[in-house]
Amino acid sequence: MKDLYEMFNEMDLREETDIQEMDSLEKARWKKRLRDQIRTGRKKHSGKRAAAAAAACVLLAAGMTATGTGQTILAMVQEAAQSHLPGVVHWVPGFSQTRDEYVTEIAKSFQVEDTTVTLADAVADEDTILFSFYLEQEKTDNSFGMQAELYAGEEKIGTGISNFMSWSEESQKARGKMRVLSEGADFSQIRDAELVLTCGYLNSSAEEKQEETIPITFTGKNLKEETKTQDVDYEYTISDGRKIQILQYSENQANLKLYAKVTYPEGYDWDNVNYITSLKGRTDMGDMVEFTRMQSYEQEDGTSTELFLADANIPAAAEFIKLYPYERYISLEIGSVVEDILVQKEPLVIERQTD
């Protein structure tokens, strides 16, 4: 097998692919389809595409650890643990206690070996739920993480995953967050659900992981009515031939989102998805923003609709966001990561709908 860097140096990072351009009518149809999907749900990838989507999540986690982003997250979690802010209020800037009508209190605790987990509260919009949780551990040498599935009756309506978190010598407590993304449901229509958490440590086997089921009644007001949405028109192509067309931007006090159409080149290799893509930039006030690809849904024509998500960490006074597309190549077999590479210099500029 070739060395990762040898393979990477042989790649043409600007290889053109034979993908037809969308005309204005097709773009309009896709934007309408996006709006309909946000309202009525989407169809999730199956087969190789599902495996590829899962692999992309693993690639992202590997990239975060290898590039040092994991240490940044750890520092943020440890800093948050020292804060006295309750629950989701800490994770959503500007979401003060005066907006308690949007918060669903959960306050359920359970034990996983030497770690006590407390699911604190949640805030939801149409297709995303942000959960806040606390961890307390007797030891300091284990990294802990959770996977989530959300059910309404027998139907699975959402999935999510938390980052693995570690403890320093000085602290045995941490505060974390986890987003559960819709698999077709409109969360504003869901009141009673069950959150199934699969919990364990970084090196835990499947048999060692523990499952907990937490019933939840969403009493908080959904952010759907406060979500601002606008059409955008921006596209770029990454090195494996995928063409990403950003068609819609939405924001509320908990989430910033980009919705995209992705077109795949003929003969795309679903067994070797080694590229991840993101959009990074700043607001006009200098605040850093990064949109990470989080979810993918297959369409009947072989393309997919994808969700890019960012924390709502920009001030209300910011008038625009300027973003640039990046790609990163990762090899799970070798465990190596190549740093983010700028795909194109032309930015995506989003003019925010400020009141």
78 has pLDDT over 90: no
In the chain the domains, ranked by start, together with CATH numbers, are 23-69+225-351 (2.60.40.1640), 83-222 (2.60.40.1630)
pTM: 0.75
Nearest-5° Cα angle at 181, 341 to 109: 115
Cα within 13 Å of Cα(179), Cβ side:
22
Residues 296, 53: contact at Cβ < 8 Å?
A: yes
- Banded pLDDT at 122 (limits 50, 70, 90): very high
- Banded pLDDT at 11 (limits 50, 70, 90): very low
Instruction: Check residue 75 and give its pLDDT.
Output: 45
- Using CA atoms, how far apart are residues 130 and 254, in angstroms rounded to an integer? 8
Token couple for 215? 């019933």
Tell me which residue of 14, 35, 101, 7 sits closest to 327, measured CA to CA.
Answer: 14
Instruction: Report which residue type is found at 247.
Output: L
Q: What is the pLDDT of residues 174-189, one digit of tens each?
A: 888 899 999 989 999 9
Instruction: Check residue 206 and give its pLDDT.
Output: 82
- Using CA atoms, how far apart are residues 21 and 24, in angstroms rounded to an integer? 10
Of 35 and 204, the one with more pLDDT: 204
Instruction: Check residue 60 and give its pLDDT.
Output: 42
- Banded pLDDT at 85 (limits 50, 70, 90): very low
Percentage of the residues of the chain whose pLDDT score is greater than 90: 45
Instruction: Check residue 8 and give its pLDDT.
Output: 33
300 has pLDDT over 90: no
Q: What is the pLDDT of residues 135-147, one digit of tens each?
A: 888 765 678 899 9
Of 298 and 21, the one with more pLDDT: 298
**Which residues 6+ apart lie within 8 Å of 301 measured at CB?**
none
- Using CA atoms, how far apart are residues 290 and 282, in angstroms rounded to an integer? 8
Q: 79-88, 114-123, 165-174, 307-316 — which one is most confidently predicted on average?
A: 114-123
**Which residues 6+ apart lie within 8 Å of 253 measured at CB?**
92, 94, 95, 99, 102, 223, 226, 312
Instruction: Check residue 237 and give its pLDDT.
Output: 96
Exposure letters 104-128 (e unless 16+ CB within 10 A, then b): bebeeeeebbebebbbbbbbbbbbb
The helix/strand count (H/E) of the chain reads as 5, 18
Residues 122, 216: contact at Cβ < 8 Å?
A: yes
Instruction: Check residue 10 and give its pLDDT.
Output: 37
